[in-house]
Amino acid sequence: MKNRVGAGMRIGARMIAVGLMLAAMAADVWAASDVRSVRLWRAPDNTRLVFDLSGPVQHSVFTLTAPDRIVIDISGAKLVTPLDKLALSNTPITAVRSAQRTPEDLRVVIDLSSQVTPKSFTLAPNQQYGNRLVVDLFDQASDAAPSLPSTTTASAPPVPVTPTQAPPKLAPVPGGKRDIVIAIDAGHGGEDPGALGPTKGQVEKNVTLSIAKELQRQVNAQKGFRAELVRTGDYFIPLRKRTEIARKKGADLFVSIHADAAPRAAAFGASVYALSDRGATSETARWLADAENQSDLIGGAGNVSLEDKDRMLAGVLLDLSMTASLSSSLNVGQKVLGQMGQVTPLHKRRVEQAGFMVLKSPDIPSILVETGFISNPSEARKLHSAAHQQSLSRSIVTGVKQFFEQNPPPGTYIAWLRDNGKIAQGPREHVVASGESLALIAQRYQVGLATLRTANSLKSDVIKVGQTLHIPATSLAAQP
């Protein structure tokens, strides 16, 4: 009997201990998270607030009028940082104040000078940040469609983006000859610093913006070219929206600037990326999956509409556009890479291909330039050097010019120079993209198939993806 009583007491003690441990764990889980800091970023069409948290929270956001206010209720949080140090100039925010409604319920009130449309979401910890609450305040005068950043973990399949407007008709230069437009995208920005260098303050977002601005300056110094910055300051732009901005600016080429990082500090060298075949296929499917995209225009100059085409024909047109865009991307990428190799070591000597979101434009040739490894101390110092930024930019401009002097868009000043014999017609090159045939390439460049074979010492019409073909100047009309 005593043994049974003793055993029962021991079991009871264990249950009490387990219960206390579970209670402690539950208390820890539901303990209030600290709002450790609040960061603010201003973009051309929105203001972003980021609340850095010590743990997960639940929240709600609603608007009030007369006067205009945004109210953010954060359950399971307490404020441990001041809010009066935020730089509010050039934003619709006039003041940010808070009240601890209960020890674990925080209310933040944002006073506004004009109405905004709020969007909010939470982010799980990553390598650089802990838990975060992000609140975007979109200016109501802007028609920009807000998007979640790429770091958000979606709980449902992604919804196709709202189609963009047709590309604007570019104002022609005197004589009806327009500039070739280069959209320059400085990677990362705002609360997304990108890769970190070995020294404090060395962050990718600053390097990319500095190089992008220098590249813009050098492009604009070339007659017949105009550069447009996708990101003009230190703020975040969702990845898909970057290509939408380029399209609205009427871009003929999209260049995204980055600075690589690797676990090994010894990794070095510049790289150039174009879209992978798998990325091109998935993007074509995404466009066709959304009926609203039928109103979008494709074909670079905006002269091919999917709106009045049946699904099969729309798919063929879109696939042709994507194939041509990818081929041009590989071509210009190889020229840029060749020029960069003269001013900095290369990580790979051929254009690499990957499914980067910013490269997934079916109507704009797009390349991503990794200017070097910011994680490498030696390259980090160079990337922060104005002289090296100028050299890198000069090499990119030279490669871009070479491509467009050989393949100028119709109606541009550079096309007029070529057609009037004012540009020396050097040998042209074409990098083979997936889905292309030798006959299709010969037709595109208006050269005879036999001539194209001879110029490249081909024994048959078999070609490989990534192969560089030399395009002779002989016209198709001259062929028998």
Judge contact between 108 and 72, C-beta under 8 A: yes
User: Which range has the worst mean pLDDT, 31-35, 214-218, 255-259?
Assistant: 31-35
pLDDT digits (tens, 9 = 90+) for 115-150: 999 999 998 887 778 999 999 999 986 444 344 333
Examine the domain organization and report whether 352 and 397 are in the same domain. yes
Residue 8 lies in a domain: no
Examine the domain organization and report whether 359 and 448 are in the same domain. no
Percent residues over pLDDT 90 in the chain: 46
List Cβ neighbours of 374 (8 Å cut-off, separation of 6 or more): 195, 196, 197, 202, 204, 207, 259, 260, 261, 380, 383
Residue 325 lies in a domain: yes
Check pLDDT > 50 for residue 69. Answer: yes
Residue 154 lies in a domain: no
Categorize the per-residue pLDDT at 265 as very low, low, confident or very high, splitting at 50, 70 and 90.
confident
Examine the domain organization and report whether 340 and 453 are in the same domain. no
In which domain, by residue range, is 447 found? 427-478
Categorize the per-residue pLDDT at 294 as very low, low, confident or very high, splitting at 50, 70 and 90.
very low
Structure confidence at residue 282 (pLDDT)? 65
Structure confidence at residue 173 (pLDDT)? 53
Residue 158 lies in a domain: no
pLDDT digits (tens, 9 = 90+) for 318-376: 667 777 888 899 999 999 999 999 999 999 888 988 888 888 888 899 999 999 999 99
Strands 131-139 and 271-275: unpaired
Question: What is the domain-level CATH number for residue 449?
Answer: 3.10.350.10
CA torsion angle for 140, 163, 353, 265 (degrees, to 10)? Answer: 10
pLDDT digits (tens, 9 = 90+) for 180-236: 999 999 999 988 888 888 888 889 999 999 999 999 999 999 999 999 999 999 999
Phi-psi region of 215 (alpha: psi -120 to 50; beta: other; left: phi over 0): alpha
Cα-trace Rg, the chain: 28
Check pLDDT > 60 for residue 238. Answer: yes
Question: What is the domain-level CATH number for residue 189?
Answer: 3.40.630.40
Examine the domain organization and report whether 437 and 385 are in the same domain. no
Structure confidence at residue 303 (pLDDT)? 42
Check pLDDT > 90 for residue 104. Answer: no
Residue 111 lies in a domain: yes
Categorize the per-residue pLDDT at 17 as very low, low, confident or very high, splitting at 50, 70 and 90.
low
Examine the domain organization and report whether 331 and 435 are in the same domain. no
Examine the domain organization and report whether 329 and 226 are in the same domain. yes
Number of domains comprising the chain: 3
Examine the domain organization and report whether 135 and 201 are in the same domain. no
User: Which range has the worst mean pLDDT, 57-61, 150-154, 285-289?
Assistant: 150-154
Examine the domain organization and report whether 459 and 319 are in the same domain. no
Categorize the per-residue pLDDT at 431 as very low, low, confident or very high, splitting at 50, 70 and 90.
confident
Examine the domain organization and report whether 187 and 301 are in the same domain. yes
Check pLDDT > 80 for residue 60. Answer: yes
- Give DSSP secondary structure letters for 143-170: -------TT---SSPPPPPPPPPPPPPP
Check pLDDT > 50 for residue 297. Answer: no
Examine the domain organization and report whether 402 and 434 are in the same domain. no
Residue 393 lies in a domain: yes
What's the whole-number average pLDDT of the chain?
A: 80
Residue 306 lies in a domain: yes
Task: Look at 24 and 140; give whichever has higher pLDDT.
Answer: 140
Examine the domain organization and report whether 450 and 400 are in the same domain. no
Q: Token digits for 278?
A: 């798998």
Examine the domain organization and report whether 120 and 196 are in the same domain. no
Question: End of a domain among 139, 156, 172?
Answer: 139
Question: What is the domain-level CATH number for residue 108?
Answer: 2.60.40.3500
Residue 450 lies in a domain: yes
Q: What stretches of 174-309 show up as alpha helix (H) in DSSP?
A: 204-220, 239-248, 277-289
Tokens 């078999």, residue? Answer: 462
Average pLDDT over residues 156-177: 44
